[in-house]
Amino acid sequence: MNIIIKGTTLLNPEQKINEKSDLLISDGIIKKIGSLNDGDYKNAKVYDFNNAYSVPGLFDMHVHLREPGREDEETVLTGSNSAAAGGFTGVACMPNTNPPIDTAEIVKFIKEKSQSHLVDVFPIATATHERKGEGLSPMLELSEAGAVAFSDDGNAIKSASLLRNAFEYTKMIDKVIIDHCEDESLAEGAMNEGITSTVLGLPPIPSIAEDIIVMRDIITAEYTNGKIHIAHISSKNAVDMVRQAKKKGIYVTAEATPHHFTLTEETVKSYDTNYKMNPPLRTKEDVDAIIEGLKDGTIDCIASDHAPHAIEEKEHEFIYAPNGVVGLETTLGLVLTELYHKKHLSIEKLVEKLSINPRIILKLPIPQFKEGEKANLTIFDPNLIWTVDIQKFQSKCRNSPFDKRLLTGKMLAVINKNKIYYENSFFTI
């Protein structure tokens, strides 16, 4: 079947393309770019998007799909629907499932579950056996089965010696270690440490809990020539450390979440558990440092840390409630509203951080606007104003602090694997 994407600006910073051009897609393959003739329009379904961009399909390299183990909270299918609804054509899912993604069978299980879906799902496997921090996972076998990176997300890699070995071992397959940077001995709290935690009487987590592990990881990466990716960076000091390490030529990359560049610890004053995150929401100074890091390239990408939680768990007392936020369906809107419209990031930079860089870090091919290439693209209108409604989420869960928030910029359609997601429905093309 043929479809035509009419009226959008094709933008791919990797290819240095930025021009208004029509696209003819035939059986999922880009057939023609530019001036289409009457023959092309014949037998083609036309999607007319004015004032919209077509960009290489967005990619979220940090999501929790909860399957296997907590299918009541999310599954590969519902998480993929949520990704498509948020404008993503690919995600990398974290291995802190139950059982964790630490065998080739589980990697394959997830890949099979997502096989026929529009959204590509790439499992990240554990760095250690059973994610217990004692001994490496079978990384060669996991990699062969399709794992794109290794992480003990939810916890930091337990010891410097394990991390060192992980760096050495993964050199054989050239894959990155993603670390959730948090020193366990300092992290037994519920919010960022400071005057707000004192006033609220909540047990605090100091920002150095993050900084200490970021520094450890950078030093170890330098020593072993390893590759480290810092997940959900949230503190000013950590951003500075990554900046300095990059200057020294150490292979370190970092991601930031929308909640860490839009919200501060002040929001916790409501004791609303939707503001309970790990790493915790920090100060205005940290938020500014993250935005600065995104602007100067210290922070390579934006990832949602999509973490669905059952309502009955989020409704617990603050200190017992689980951490996290449903992120896939608000990320693009928040990035456009808070970073693009506030003139921190250009559309090109935004596409790099939401599409190109995560794929580079995970060594995945970057979709191209080229005749003969597979169509893998996201179409969004940067100026469309909409209101977040958690009841309309495709995710199984509703834990979002952004409910009722007015955003400027929204996805219109995503195309990948011979399918289009448009107006809340999937169609094969």
Partner 1 sequence: MSLESKHLLGLYGTSREDIELILDTARTFREVLERPIKKVPTLQGKTVVNLFFEASTRTRISFELAQKRLSADTINFTTSTSSTKKGETFKDTVRNIEAMKVDMIVVRHESAGVPQFLTRISNANIINAGDGTHEHPTQALLDMYSIKEKLNKLEGLKVCVVGDIAHSRVALSNIYGLTTMGAKVSVCGPSTMIPHSLIKLGVKIYNDIDKAIQENDVLNVLRIQLERKAGDRIPSLREYRNYFGITTERLNKFNKEIIILHPGPINRGIEISSEVADGPYQVILDQVTNGVAVRMAVLYLLGTKN
Q: Apex CA 270: angle with CA 268 and CA 275, to 5°? A: 40
Token pair of 305 as six digits:
């840390």
Q: Which is nearer to partner 1, 316 or 342 (CB)?
A: 316
Q: Interface with partner 1 includes 201 (CB under 8 A)? A: yes
> Which residues, other chains included, contact 1 with Cβ-Cβ below 8 Å and sequence gap of 6+?
26, 27, 45, 428, 429
In angstroms, the CA 85 to CA 386 distance is 14
Q: How many helices, marked H, and strands, marked E, lie in the chain? A: 14, 21
Report how far apart, in Å, the C-alpha atoms of 230 and of each of 33, 299, 303 are: 38, 9, 11
Using CB under 8 A, which of the segments 8-16, 258-266, 312-320, 324-332 binds partner 1?
312-320
Instruction: Provide the CB-side half-sphere exposure for 380 (13 A, CA).
Output: 32
318 belongs to the binding site for partner 1 (CB under 8 A): yes
**Candidate segments 142-150, 201-209, 211-219, 292-300, binder of partner 1 by CB under 8 A:** 201-209
From 194-202, 325-333, 385-393, 410-418, span contacting partner 1 (CB under 8 A): 194-202
Q: Which of 37, 42, 248, 312 binds partner 1 (CB under 8 A)?
A: 312
Residue closer to partner 1 (CB basis): 292 or 313:
313
Considering the complex, state which of residue 151 and residue 196 has its C-beta at the smaller distance from partner 1: 196
CA distance 3 to 406: 32
Tell me which residue of 301, 343, 368 sits closest to 12, measured CA to CA: 368
68, 133, 146, 194: which one contacts partner 1 (CB under 8 A)?
194
In whole angstroms, give the CA distance from residue 301 to residue 231.
Answer: 10
Segment contacting partner 1 by CB under 8 A, of 47-55, 92-100, 193-201, 358-366: 193-201
Nearer of residues 38 and 312 to partner 1, judged by Cβ? 312
Question: Based on C-alpha coordinates, what's the Rg of the chain?
Answer: 21
CB-based contacts of 219, cutoff 8 Å, min separation 6: none
404 binds partner 1 (CB under 8 A): no
Tokens of 71: 């299918």
Q: x/- string (CB under 8 A) for partner 1, residues 242-281?
A: ----------------------------xx----------
Nearer to partner 1, 138 or 322 (CB): 322
The least distance separating partner 1 from the CB of residue 97, rounded to whole angstroms, comes to: 22
Q: How far is CA 209 from CA 185, 250, 266, 321, in A?
A: 8, 22, 20, 20
- From the list 250, 224, 62, the residue with the least C-alpha distance to 148 is 62
Least distance in Å: CB of 309 to partner 1? 13
In degrees, to the nearest 5, what angle opens at C-alpha 290 toward C-alphas 284 and 295?
Answer: 125
Query: How many residues of this chain interact with partner 1, rule: CB under 8 A?
Result: 19
The beta-carbon contacts of 422-428 under 8 Å, at least 24 apart in sequence, are: 422/47, 424/85, 426/84, 426/118, 428/1
Part in contact with partner 1 (CB under 8 A); list of ranges 198-206, 353-361, 398-406, 417-425 = 198-206
Which of 29, 172, 319, 406 is in the footprint of partner 1 by CB under 8 A?
319
The helix or strand, by DSSP H or E, that contains position 373, with its residue range, turns out to be none
Specify the residue, 312 or 423, whose C-beta has the smaller distance to partner 1: 312
Identity of the residue, 144 or 315, whose beta carbon is nearer to partner 1 in the bound complex: 315
Single residue of 39, 317, 404, 423 touching partner 1 by CB under 8 A: 317
Smallest separation, CB 203 to partner 1 (Å): 7
Catalytic residue among 60, 120, 179, 305: 305
Which is nearer to partner 1, 110 or 190 (by Cβ)? 190
Gap between the Cα atoms of 162 and 139, Å rounded: 13
C-beta of 135 vs 203, nearer to partner 1: 203
Is 22 an active-site residue? Answer: no
Look up residue 252 and give its DSSP letter. Answer: E
Q: Is 347 helix (H, G, I), strand (E, B) or coil?
A: helix
With CB under 8 A as the contact rule, the residue among 45, 203, 371, 383 that binds partner 1 is 203
CB of 319 to partner 1, least distance (A): 4
CB atoms within 10 A of CB 109: 16
Q: What character string, x for contact with partner 1 (CB under 8 A) and - otherwise, covers 135-174?
A: ----------------------------------------
Q: Which stretch binds partner 1 (CB under 8 A): 217-225, 251-259, 309-317, 378-386?
A: 309-317
CA distance 67 to 75: 5
The residues carrying an active-site annotation are: 305
Which residues are near partner 1 by CB under 8 A?
Answer: 194-195, 197-204, 270-271, 312, 315-320
